[in-house]
Structure 1
Amino acid sequence: MPTRGSANPVPGQPRPKDLRHDRSWGLDRRAGTSERLDDVDQRLLTALAEDARIPNNALAAKAGIAPSTCLTRVQRLRERGVIRGFHADVDPARAGHPLQAMIAVQMRGTARTRLSAYLQRLAELPGVLNVFLLGGAHDFFVHVAAADSDALNDFVIEHLSTDPDVALTETNLIFQHARAGWY
């Protein structure tokens, strides 16, 4: 019987990835995997992206399937991780945060092993709408909403510039934003 860490995998099963030699630093790499979706799944996703509160019978009609099939299909899409959740699209300006910015963050070389943890920490900060881990000159783009320029300045100083792992920040104001229609 193979033991943990043994070179002999279970017959018929894929060999487990050896994490000791993984250079991904624990980052979520799901972007490289995709689910096979048929036309019905595509229609369901399109309709849900337009209105996540659409009643099941209306969703089924848009997809051209029975309501019971629709429930099963949506549940399966959620279980497979294709649908990650349902969210309210809140207008930051009407919610008291009219100033939006995209902040580029470059980390110090010594912080490279903590990028995933830093991404999660950024996502939990007040006013953060989105965080993107990047390849290229910057390590992150942080999309924030603030009440005014003083609040934005305070955010950058308190949460980014004073962090010893941060080498550089660059703040770009967002004048207009349009939500894309793709899913």
Structure 2
Amino acid sequence: MATKFLTKNVFLNLPTAFPQSPSFKPSQKVSRVCFTSSSRYSKGRSGAVESRAGRVFASSNQDSGLSTDEITKRGEEDIAKAKETAKDFTDSAKAYAEETKGKAEAAADSLGDKAKEASNRAGENAEIAKEKIFGAAESVKEKAEEGNKTLADNAASATESLKGAVESAVDKAKESGQKLKDAIEK
């Protein structure tokens, strides 16, 4: 730690150790040139990605230390796991589709039942309205018949009373004529 501190101080104080002459004065401009590793970008634009992929593949083969048969066996196991996973996804998708189909059928049946109920209610309401209309027509017919009967009774009564009045007028006229005749003869 102390050696780092001393080294750092030496390098930082080095420019003050040498006298600066007016002829040797460094410029105040700082260069901003940045150099990168040439091996990383050697293959053009996608070279870094390709070289990184190659390193990952190479390191996985080197680190594992497995033989080709073992690698093949692991690959087959991975493929079997992938097939099983795909089968599980397929089964769950089928189950979801069947469940959705069942729900849709239940909803359709429910809507059909509700439509039938509404149709039945409308038919019943129409029947009730028809009965009310016929009942009202019967009531009007009965009232008209009662009115006609009352009118006929009143007309008959008026005819009878008029007949009675005419008869009494004829009798009175006969009586008056008789009285007049008797008075003329006396």
Q: Same fold (TM over 0.5)?
A: no
Q: Quick check: which one's helix share is greater? A: 2
TM-score class normalised by the smaller sequence: under 0.3
Greater length-normalized contact order (CA 8 Å, ≥ 6 residues apart)? 1
Rg larger in structure: 2
With the length of structure 1 as denominator, give the TM-score of the two structures.
0.16
Relative to its length, the structure with more strand (as a share) is: 1
